[in-house]
Amino acid sequence: MAARRATKKQAAPKEELLKYYKDMLLIRRFEEKAGQLYGMGLIGGFCHLYIGQEAVVVGLESVAIEGDKRITTYRDHGHMLACGMDANGVMAELTGRIGGYSKGKGGSMHMFSKERDFYGGHGIVGANVPLGAGLAFSDMYKGNKNVTFTYFGDGAANQGQVYETYNMAELWKLPVIFVIENNQYAMGTSVKRATKSSSFWERGTAFSIPGEQVDGMDVLAVRAAGQKAVKHCRAGKGPYILEIMTYRYRGHSMSDPAKYRTRDEVQKIREERDAIEQVRGRLLDAGATEAELKAIDKDIKDVVNAAAEFAKESPEPDPSELWTDITVSA
Amino acid sequence: MEFMTWNFAMQAIDQIINSAAKTLYMSGGQMGSPIVFRGPNGAAARVAAQHSQDYAAWYASVPGLKVVQPFSAADAKGLLKTAIRDPNPVVFLENEILYGRAFDVPKLDDFTIPFGKARVWREGTDVTLVSWGIGMSHTLEAADELAKDGVSAEVIDLRTLRPLDMATVIESVKKTNRCVTVEEAWPVASLSDHIGSEIMREAFDHLDAPVLKCTGKDVPMPYAANLEKLALTSVKEVIDAVRAVTYR
C-alpha cells in the first residue's frame, strides 16, 4: 500500500526545466527582496521566508490543473507566487497597502486569492489542515476531479487535529493531498528533539492513507511524486500523503537568529543540494547557455524590483477599511 | 505551563475551561487542578488578526479560574509567586510590549501580592480611571496629560481580573462620581461592561455621568500600520472620554 522513497533520477526536457528554473528563481528573489524591505522597516510583524524550499511548491504546482485548490500555513509567499498570483499584490500585502491581496488587512501570514484558488495563508500551526479537508469535501460533493493541496510543516504534523483530519479524509475518500514540508525545524526545535518517530508519512498507514517521502530539493522528484498523488486523488481513491524533505536557509521568521543549528549545516545544504542550482546544472547539461540563464535572472530581478516599487507606492488602506469585511451583508 | 502566546492557547481552550476550571466542582471538591497557564496576551506589533487578541474578558468570565494580568514588573513577580502557590488553575496574562519596559522591582526574599487586590497608582478627585495590563500605559499617560489641564484623575490598576476588586473601584467612584475604563479587548461583552454594570448597581446615586469605556475596536486586528493604530485604544481616546464625563 505505502510506497517506498523514490530513488530513480527523473529527467525532463529543456523547456520544462526552464519553467521550473524561472518559477523557483522568482520565489527566491522575491523573498530576498522581502527580507530587504523588512530590514528597511517597510514590512512589519512576522515575515517567514521560503528560501530553500522553492522546489516543493514549484514541483507540485506543475501537476495541478485549473480548479485545484491550495491552502497553507504562514510561510506562504512561495505558494502564492507558484500558483500564479501576482508578485505586486503579494508584496503590497507584505507592506500593508491597499494594492495587496487582502487590501493590506491580512499581512504576510494571512493572504487569499479566490481567483487562483488559494485559500490562505493561516497563522495558527496545524489549523489549516482540517480546512484543507473541507475544501476537498466541496470538490467531492460537486463531483469534479479537482484536488486540494494541503500544506503544513513538521511542527504541525504533531498537532492532534491533523490526525482527526486524516481519519475523516480517508473515511470519506476526500481528494486531498497532505503535503508535509519537513524542513526539519519546528521554529527552533529540530525534528529529532520533538518527534519520537521522525517519519511523518508513515503515520498515514494507521488510517490506511498511502504516502511517501520525497527529496524536496529535487523539483523533478517532487513533480514525479505529485503526479502519483494527484492520480490517486483524481481517481476517487481518497487522500495521499507526501512528506517532502526540504530545508529553509533563513530563520523561522525575520526575528529568529537561528542559533539552534550551525552555519556549516546550512552552508552544506546550500552548496550540495540547492534546488535551483540542481536545475541550473541540468539546464546547462541540456544545452542552455549562461547568457540565456543570465537573461532570465535579469527578467526576474525586474519583476521583483517592480513589485517592491509597487508595494512602496501603493497607498495605505483608507481608514474606513477598518470597518469593512467583518460580516457579509445579508 | 507556558504558551508562546495566548493566541495559540485557543488550541487548548477546552482543556483550560472544561478540564482545569471545572474539575473541582464536578468532583464535588475531591480533586482540582493547581496549574498556572502563562504567556503574552493581546496585540504585539503588526502581527495581525490571528496573533493579536486580548483574552482577558473570555477567561475572566469562567468560574473555577483565577485570572491575573499585571502591568508593572513588581506586580508580575509578586502575582506569579502567588499564582504558583494558589491551589487553583490560574490564567496569567502577560504582554509582549510590556516585556520591553523597565520598572523597579523590590528586592525581597519572598515578595508576593495577594489576588483580588487592585492597586491605586495615583489618587485623584475628578474621575476614576480603571484599567489593567497594557491598558495602564495609556491610562497613566492620559492622567499625566489631564493633570496639566487641572483634571485630577484617580488611576486604579485591577491587577487581578478574577476575583475582581470592585470594592476599591466603588470606593473611588463614590469620591470622584465619574468613571472611565480602559481595556485592550473588543467592546462587546467586555470586562468594561461588567465593571460599568457593577458601578451602576453599587453606586448609581453617586454617578454624575455615565461610565464610559475605551476599548479596542469591534473588528479583527488589521495588519496595515495605519489601521492597526486605529483598532487599538489610545491616550487620546482616554482623554476625550474623561473630558466627556467631566463635561470639560
Model confidence pLDDT, tens digit, residues A96-108: 999 999 999 999 9
Is A106 an 8 Å CB contact of chain B?
A: yes
CATH code (residue B53): 3.40.50.970
d(CA B60, CA B191): 8
- Put simply, the answer to whether B51 touches A123 (Cβ < 8 Å) is yes
In three-state secondary structure terms, B206 is: helix
CATH code (residue B205): 3.40.50.920
Q: Is B19 contained in some domain?
A: yes
Helix (H) or strand (E) holding A240: strand A240-245
d(CA A23, CA A77): 12
- Put simply, the answer to whether B223 touches A159 (Cβ < 8 Å) is no
Nearest to A45 among B11, B218, B223 (CB): B223
d(CA A73, CA A257): 21
Model confidence pLDDT, tens digit, residues A288-327: 999 999 999 999 999 999 999 999 999 999 999 999 999 9
Is A127 an 8 Å CB contact of chain B?
A: yes
A contacts of B217 (beta carbons < 8 Å): 322-323
CA A70 from chain centre, in angstroms, equals 9
Mean pLDDT of A139-155: 97
Substitution target in B223, B228, B229, B232 with the highest count of A β-carbons within 10 Å is B223
- Co-location of B242 and B195 in the same domain: yes
CA B164 from chain centre, in angstroms, equals 10
What confidence category does residue A2 fall into, taking pLDDT thresholds of 50, 70 and 90? very low
In three-state secondary structure terms, B46 is: coil
Model confidence pLDDT, tens digit, residues A154-203: 999 999 999 999 999 999 999 999 999 999 999 989 999 989 887 999 99
Which residues neighbour A81 within 8 Å (Cβ) at sequence distance 6 or greater?
A: A23, A26, A27, A30, A87, A90
Q: Would you state the pLDDT for residue A1?
A: 42
- Co-location of B231 and B130 in the same domain: yes
| 3-class SS letters over A6-39 | CCCCCCCCHHHHHHHHHHHHHHHHHHHHHHHHHH
Model confidence pLDDT, tens digit, residues A218-245: 999 999 999 999 999 999 999 999 999 9
The per-residue pLDDT string of chain B (248 residues; one tens digit each, 9 = 90 and over) reads 999 999 999 999 999 999 999 999 999 999 999 999 999 999 999 999 999 999 999 999 999 999 999 999 999 999 999 999 999 999 999 999 999 999 999 888 899 999 999 999 999 999 999 999 999 999 999 999 999 999 999 999 999 999 999 999 999 999 999 999 999 999 999 999 999 999 999 999 999 999 999 999 999 999 999 999 999 999 999 999 999 999 98
B contacts of A93 (beta carbons < 8 Å): 223
- Put simply, the answer to whether A45 touches B224 (Cβ < 8 Å) is no
Torsion sign, CA atoms A195, A198, A203, A209: positive
For residue A46, give how far its alpha carbon lies from the nearest alpha carbon of chain B (Å). Answer: 6
> Residue B175 belongs to what domain range?
119-246
Q: Is B24 contained in some domain?
A: yes
Q: Would you state the pLDDT for residue B108?
A: 86
Task: Tell me what ipTM this predicted complex has.
Answer: 0.92
Helix (H) or strand (E) holding B181: strand B179-182
pLDDT for A117 beyond 80? yes
- Co-location of B138 and B239 in the same domain: yes
d(CA B80, CA B1): 12
pLDDT for A4 beyond 60? no
Into which CATH architecture does domain A14-186+197-315 fall?
3-Layer(aba) Sandwich (3.40)
Cβ of A35: how many Cβ atoms within 10 Å?
16
A contacts of B51 (beta carbons < 8 Å): 45-46, 109, 123
- Co-location of B135 and B85 in the same domain: no
* The residue type at A250: R
Quote the DSSP letter at residue A72: -
Is B226 an 8 Å CB contact of chain A?
A: yes
Which residue do the cell numbers 498511502 mark? A210
d(CA B248, CA B234): 19
Is B219 an 8 Å CB contact of chain A?
A: yes
In three-state secondary structure terms, A140 is: helix
C-alpha cell at A78: 512561495
d(CA B212, CA B182): 9
Q: Would you state the pLDDT for residue A7?
A: 52
d(CA B177, CA A231): 73
What confidence category does residue A11 fall into, taking pLDDT thresholds of 50, 70 and 90? confident
Mean pLDDT, chain A, whole residue set:
95
- Co-location of B162 and B64 in the same domain: no
Cβ of A220: how many Cβ atoms within 10 Å?
21
- Co-location of B123 and B94 in the same domain: no
Cα–Cα–Cα angle for B75, B78, B84, rounded to 5 degrees: 125
Q: Would you state the pLDDT for residue B233?
A: 97
DSSP-derived secondary structure for B108-150: -TT----TT--EEEE--SSEEEEE-TTHHHHHHHHHHHHHHTT
In three-state secondary structure terms, A77 is: helix
d(CA B57, CA A191): 37
- Co-location of B159 and B216 in the same domain: yes
How many domains does the structure of chain B reveal?
Answer: 2
Q: Would you state the pLDDT for residue A258?
A: 87
Mean pLDDT of A122-139: 97
Q: Is B163 contained in some domain?
A: yes
Q: Is B47 contained in some domain?
A: yes
Quote the DSSP letter at residue B15: I
At residue A208, φ and ψ (nearest 5 deg) are 65, 30
- Co-location of B127 and B241 in the same domain: yes
For residue B143, give how far its alpha carbon lies from the nearest alpha carbon of chain A (Å). Answer: 28
Q: Which residue of A has its CA nearest to B45?
A: A45
Mean pLDDT of A145-149: 98
- Put simply, the answer to whether A107 touches B8 (Cβ < 8 Å) is no
- Co-location of B204 and B127 in the same domain: yes
- Co-location of B166 and B227 in the same domain: yes
* The residue type at A8: K
C-alpha cell at B83: 499564582
A contacts of B222 (beta carbons < 8 Å): 104-105, 317, 321-322
